[in-house]
Amino acid sequence: MTDSVRELQVTPVPDTVDAPGLGFLPLGPGVSLPRIQFAAILRDLGQRLLPWVVPVGLIALWQIASSLGWLSTRVLPAPSEVIKATWTLSASGELWTHVKVSAGRALAGLAVGGGLGLAFGLLTGSVKFFETLLDSTIQMVRNIPALALIPLVILWFGIDETAKLFLIAVSVFFPIYINTFHGIRNVDPGLIEMGRTYGLTRWQLYREVILPGALSSILVGLRFSLGLMWVILIVAETISAQAGIGYLTMNAREFLQTDVVLVGILLYALLGKLADVFARGLERYWLRWHPGYQSTVA
Amino acid sequence: MLHPHISFESSQTYLAAELGRDAGPDAEALPPQAQPSTQDRGVRLEISGLSKRYGKRQVLQHTELVIEPGEFVAIVGRSGCGKSTLLRLVAGLEAATQGSIRLDGQDVSGLREDTRIMFQDSRLLPWRRVIANVALGLPPGGHAAAADVLAQVGLADRQPDWPARLSGGQRQRVSLARALVHNPRLLLLDEPLGALDALTRIEMHQLIEGLWQRNGFTALLVTHDVQEGVALADRVILIEDGRIALDERVRIARPRERSDPLFGQIEKKILDRVLQQPGEAISPSEPLWPNTPVHGVRWAV
């Protein structure tokens, strides 16, 4: 009796499983379970490695092409050359000086522009008077591309640090401003009404309801700003600089050091990625109440 | 004196049993109620000649209503009849066009410390944990009181959770706890159970009834569910087109059974009254609530 039931249960299974043997597994007396697990692990590993196949393959191809002399070093140095250049530059400490200078510029610009954007966004978002007074002006200025200001900025500030700081600050201001403004406007009015009826003071209402409600939007603005920040930094440093990654690459270009140029490009990519990881981390921490940011199911 | 609290004792033990299930030892630890006389816990609400107009639309017209301290009154009516507006006026969220609302003889002008609202959507702050939501607006160190009230609504173990993790019914319980932690003398309930399923709703009825009996506050419930009104309230008031059309006292012993024949009778009486009124049409000659003031007060702009 039990045997026939088992067979009934088992027969349809092989159709749905790609490996026909699997379906009979629970019945088989001594079929090795570890082998199946091993296969599963392999398949899992394959899934994880698959996205890396193309980039690793390309780099390998690039290395081979360079080694065989198909690619001139003047066009593209071999990956091994790039690694070697990175090593030399960092060993001499030169690399870190330039990274420090560039990151300092970027962060200073972000602090000034982002801080102002946040402050103005909070102001116009919260007080109707300031919205009427300032918002249309800011929206007008927003349409000027920051890079179009370069000639004017050079006339105003020359080509030293102030010019770079100004360009970065101007460009990061708007994304943060706009997102802060909209974040505050989109706070659920029901929550604000609730806060009022529960006796929150104006400041408590701001801290408990309005700011947290606008935070996800402000963080979106921050991520946009971080992206823009690096782009503007690169352009600003390429114009003229006495230090920084831009200086490093432009200087290397003069001496046809393509490997160093490549190191600079990769450094920009790395810094950009780092900034994005940082912003995501902030999102995950500050928005951990949000179901969309809760990675683990409790 | 106004309403027979015949089964006060039995329903309290009933509540204790209800809470004991969720709250465990905390329910036992609650101090024995110092039998608050309903007189000083609940507030007396007097509404006279109350009108509210939004632009050209008259939402409430010369409403007259007196609610005794500790009374539980339900306001029913079709959607858009003005019942929510009445609640918002009593809450002080909006100002009346005409007439007055008095709590214990004091005119309502703006929000009050001793009035709390429970909204239809729970309006919990999603970025605050359950316990912090309940303690919202309390002075620092209010977490103990908040934890106490959370235990009373049977959610003692959900303190550190995010509101997003709770079910609809649990959210409304938290919202109820948040209102009660301030020891309100007037609790306004704005269709708080409208979005819940039938079973959760019955559970919430028992919870609200028990907490009302224990705390003695005056309760004003706005609902579109006549059965809910009959299940909870001492009086069910029907509002139609901005006027009070019916004021029905519910003399059924608590805890109320839906199977009680009197329950069905009252529910049917109110429902029939609601349904006889097809949509907007109303004849002005229709006898209204006896307290309606002289019609001469009506004035044209």
pLDDT value of position B25: 40
Residues of chain B neighbouring A197 (CB-CB closer than 8 A): 91, 93, 111, 115-117
CATH number for the domain spanning B82: value is: 3.40.50.300
Q: How confident is the model at residue A242 (pLDDT cuts 50, 70, 90)?
A: confident
pLDDT value of position A47: 87
Q: What is the largest CA-CA distance in chain A?
A: 95
Residues of chain B neighbouring A291 (CB-CB closer than 8 A): 164
Structure tokens at B164: 């997003």
Asked if A212's CB is within 8 angstroms of B162's CB, the reply is: no
Indicate the residue type of A216. Answer: S
CB A175 within 8 A of CB A228: yes
Q: Select the residue of A191, A197, A212 nearest B111 (Cβ to Cβ).
A: A197
Indicate whether B127 belongs to any domain. yes
pLDDT at B274 over 90: no
Residues of chain B neighbouring A196 (CB-CB closer than 8 A): 93, 111
pLDDT value of position B74: 95
Nearest-Cα distance to chain B for A95, in Å, is: 42
Asked if A197's CB is within 8 angstroms of B116's CB, the reply is: yes
Q: What is the mean pLDDT of residues B12-16?
A: 40
**Which domains occur in chain A, in start order?**
1-45 (no CATH), 85-293 (1.10.3720.10)
Indicate whether B44 belongs to any domain. no
pLDDT value of position B105: 86
DSSP chain B: --S--TTHHHHHHHHHHHHHHHHTHHHHHSPPP----HHHHS--EEEEEEEEEETTEEEEEEEEEEE-TT-EEEEE-STTSSHHHHHHHHHTSS--SEEEEEETTEEP-S--TTEEEE-SS----TTS-HHHHHTTTSPTTTHHHHHHHHHHTT-GGGTTS-GGGS-HHHHHHHHHHHHHTT--SEEEEESTTTTS-HHHHHHHHHHHHHHHHHH--EEEEE-S-HHHHHHH-SEEEEEETTEEEEEEE---PSSP-TT-HHHHHHHHHHHHHHHTS-TT---TTS---TT---GGG----
Note whether ipTM > 0.85 here.
Answer: no
pLDDT tens, B84-95?
A: 889 999 999 989
pLDDT tens, B237-253?
A: 999 888 888 899 998 88
Q: What is the CA radius of gyration of chain A?
A: 29
Nearest-Cα distance to chain B for A67, in Å, is: 57
Asked if B111's CB is within 8 angstroms of A196's CB, the reply is: yes
Indicate whether B125 belongs to any domain. yes
Q: Select the residue of A194, A200, A289 nearest B164 (Cβ to Cβ).
A: A289
Contact B128/A at CB under 8 A: yes
Q: What is the mean pLDDT of residues A37-51?
A: 88
The parent domain of residue B255 ranges over 8-32+70-294
Q: What is the mean pLDDT of chain A?
A: 85
Nearest-Cα distance to chain A for B124, in Å, is: 7
pLDDT tens, B223-234?
A: 989 999 999 999
Mutate to test the interface with B, among A193, A198, A207 (most CBs of B within 10 A): A198
Indicate whether B191 belongs to any domain. yes
Asked if A193's CB is within 8 angstroms of B136's CB, the reply is: no
Q: How confident is the model at residue B285 (pLDDT cuts 50, 70, 90)?
A: very low
Bond before A34 cis per omega within 30 degrees: no
Asked if A290's CB is within 8 angstroms of B121's CB, the reply is: no
- Number of domains chain B contains: 1
Indicate whether B28 belongs to any domain. yes
Q: How confident is the model at residue A187 (pLDDT cuts 50, 70, 90)?
A: very high
pLDDT at B278 over 70: no
**Percent of chain A beyond pLDDT 70?**
87
Grouping H, G, I as helix, E, B as strand and the rest as coil, residue A70 is coil
pLDDT tens, B17-57?
A: 444 334 334 433 344 444 444 446 889 999 999 999 988 88
Residues of chain A neighbouring B93 (CB-CB closer than 8 A): 193, 196-197
Indicate whether B59 belongs to any domain. no
pLDDT tens, A145-172?
A: 888 988 999 899 988 889 999 999 999 9
Contact B91/A at CB under 8 A: yes
**Percent of chain B beyond pLDDT 70?**
78
What distance in Å separates the CA atoms of residue A180 and residue A202, rounded to the nearest whole number?
A: 19
Indicate whether B301 belongs to any domain. no
Mutate to test the interface with A, among B118, B124, B127 (most CBs of A within 10 A): B127
Structure tokens at B79: 């959607």
Asked if A212's CB is within 8 angstroms of B125's CB, the reply is: yes
Q: How confident is the model at residue B198 (pLDDT cuts 50, 70, 90)?
A: confident
pLDDT at B66 over 60: yes
pLDDT at A16 over 60: no
Q: Select the residue of B91, B121, B127 nearest A197 (Cβ to Cβ).
A: B91
Least confident of A25-39, B163-177, B185-199: A25-39
CB B192 within 8 A of CB B201: no
pTM score, whole prediction: 0.73
Q: Select the residue of B121, B127, B182 nearest A212 (Cβ to Cβ).
A: B127
DSSP type of residue A160: S
Q: What is the mean pLDDT of chain B?
A: 80
Indicate whether B180 belongs to any domain. yes
